[in-house]
Amino acid sequence: MTTSLAARVESAIRRGDLISPGGDVACLVSGGPDSTCLWHVLGALGYRVSAVHVNHGLRGGESDEDARHCQQRMDAVILEPSGSEPEGRTEADLRNVRYRTTEEFGLRATGHTASDQVETILYRLVASGTTKGIKAKREDGVVRPLLSLWREETEAYCRVHGLPFRVDSSNADTKRGLIRREILPRLRELHPAADQNLLALAETRPGLPRALERALSELLSATEGTKSIDLGAGVRAVRVYDEIRLEGRVTFGPWQLESACSGLSVRTRRPGDRLAGRRKKVQDLFVDAKVPMLERDEWPLVVLGNDVVSVPGIVDAPGWEGAVRAWKDRGA
């Protein structure tokens, strides 16, 4: 059981490009079963793991016991926030404090699981009408390698390996605790696969705006050999028999992109992206060009199929030099 669990964690790490093979990572540990499992399994997989615990001190002696447990069991560095944070902090506020307080440690991993993902989706669905889930990789250097595991699995892992863990008595009083204690059990009464179905919402992609969807449907259903429609923002969709292409200038955030070549599209980076015809990863190109980490996930890539042919403002693939014109609004 634990071997397959470790393999699932490693698969998630490689799939999401979360941690370099054998790389350094600081685990943000609370003393609970999720972060304890995270710390142990990453070490077992050969990563250079350290532990960090942020003691908010909200539960008096219990908080101090949590910190002592993490220090003694995982040799964790114990940090305390500056104390300048406002009163009445929410769970999100405290999480942001932990991330700011631990910035100096670089790449950090947290023990968020599929169970946390389900609770987050359910809360956001009710609170804001969205199904946005927990990101496996944040822009600030925080990764979540355990999103494929359920909470019951991390607890079982700790028991199998003889890893003692702490239980936060305040969890039941939080919004997440309410969802966990009362709402999800009732949903499971309605359908036993409620958790899995809620989890699937995190993978759902948003649809096109309705006006654009109608325009493209009209284009696809046309019988003429050639037909075009204006999509706005200076872009036209052109159908020539069974081929559809986009023509015109594309606005991508602060970027303006133009090309006379057909078949090109624009997207953000994906794990493992490399420049066509070169071995170098796009990630390394960003590092060499000193692109700030927070900008990398929003930087446009021009692609032909799966091939990255241009990283605007940085480099074009061999044979694609000058094929894409790109300029950035410096005021954005």
Distance from chain centroid for Cα 223: 42
306-330 pLDDT, tens digit each: 889 999 999 999 989 888 888 886 5
- The answer, yes or no, to whether residue 230 has pLDDT greater than 80, is no
Distance CA 143, CA 58 (A): 25
Per-residue model confidence (pLDDT) at position 331: 47
Predicted pLDDT at 332? 42
Beta bridge partners, 252, equal 255
The C-alpha atoms of residue 32 and residue 145 are separated, in whole angstroms, by 16
Residue 70 has pLDDT above 90, yes or no: yes
CB atoms closer than 10 angstroms to residue 151 = 20
Structure tokens at 121: 């989706």
**112, two tokens:** 């968020």
Residue 132: the pLDDT is: 83
61-74 and 33-44 helices, crossing angle to 10°: 10
Instruction: Name the average pLDDT for the chain.
Output: 84
State in words which class domain 2-203 has.
alpha beta
pLDDT top residue among 85 and 139: 139
* 83-134 pLDDT tens trace: 555 545 677 778 888 988 899 999 999 999 999 999 999 998 888 888 888 8
**Contact between residue 149 and residue 5 where contact means Cβ atoms under 8 Å apart:** yes
More confident residue, 199 or 93: 199
- Lowest average pLDDT, out of 21-25, 105-109, 151-155, 290-294, goes to 290-294
Residue 142: the pLDDT is: 93
Residue in this structure with the two tokens 């325009």, named with its chain if needed: 215
DSSP for residue 53: E
Query: CATH 3.40.50.620 occupies which residues in the chain?
Result: 2-203
Measured CA to CA, the distance from residue 12 to residue 45 in angstroms comes to 13
Q: Which of 126-130, 240-244, 297-301 has the highest mean pLDDT?
A: 297-301
pLDDT greater at residue 157 or residue 306: 157
